[in-house]
Amino acid sequence: MTSVSETEGADTGGEAVTGRWDGVDVNFGEEGGRLTYGSYLRLGLLLDQQRLESDPPAHDELLFITIHQVYELWFKQVLHELTASRDAMLSGELWLAQHLLRRVHTIERTLTQQVDILETMTPQDFGEFRHRLSPASGFQSVQFREIEFLSGAKDPSFVKRFRGLSEDEKVRLQRRLEEPTLWEAFLVVLEAAGFSVGSDEDLRKALQTVATDRAQYAATWELAEALLQHDELAAAWRARHVVMVERMIGTKPGTGGSSGAGYLRSRLDLRYYPHLWHLRSSL
């Protein structure tokens, strides 16, 4: 039973609380603390990373930097969860794979909602510092490419044509190109359930069986639905993103030299799991 015994300074006002919690020595409070909120989160370093390029400082540049840094933090978490979900599928832990994908879904909804915050910045406000960003571009987000590669949309040409990658980033992307994707892990799940997936026709029959006999293949079906939800939410983010870019800069080229909204629109039809989408036509 969880309990605290032999406490001192039972509450508080910042005083230390000491004792034992499930047999482990604990020491709560500022007086005896070895770790603080700020030191644990490394806030000194974190809050020093919003360095403005504009001079004099443009008011909305802090917002722009903060939003994109938060995106990268969420991308890191998404990669953490997707990698673990993939590994759970490969080891047969379908419940865990689905659980982690549900967490990713929630993060992906948050990523889309964050666009609303960015759109509180007007085109005029953005124009005050946009010229300072070139040739930097969201196109260069290595973590975003890792998410795409891991999800199933591997693109080796990205590594070859992007010259601004560090050696560490090249290694990371190459590793993602070589390791199993979420889709490849799902095929292992289907094979473990007794299905052949050696050809498109075999795969079509396997998915049709799973979809029409959900009582027997409930876990596999729910996992397929979780993958499709990930795909749908990623597509929703891309659609929301391109509209935001059009609202902000119209048809201007991107700061990294791309066609801007035109390039983003060319990515709207991307689907990680076309077999799961095609399945809908036969249900």
Binding residues for heme: 241
The tokens describing 277, both together, are 């989408």
Q: Write out the binding residues for substrate.
A: 64-68, 130, 255
The tokens describing 162, both together, are 């992007």
Instruction: Say if residues 6 and 20 touch (Cβ distance below 8 Å).
Output: yes
Q: Write out the binding residues.
A: 64-68, 130, 241, 255
Q: How many CB atoms lie within 10 A of CB 82?
A: 22
- Distance between CA atoms of residues 240 and 4, nearest Å: 50
* Cα radius of gyration rounded to whole Å, the chain: 24
Q: How many CB atoms lie within 10 A of CB 89?
A: 27
Type of residue at 162: F
Type of residue at 192: A
DSSP state letters, 130-148: GGGTTT--GGG-HHHHHHH
What is the chain's percent helix, strand, coil content, to nearest 5? 60, 5, 35
Q: Of 177, 143, 139, 137, which is closest to residue 74 (Cα–Cα)?
A: 143
Instruction: Say if residues 254 and 137 touch (Cβ distance below 8 Å).
Output: yes
* φ, ψ for residue 204, nearest 5 deg: -60, -45
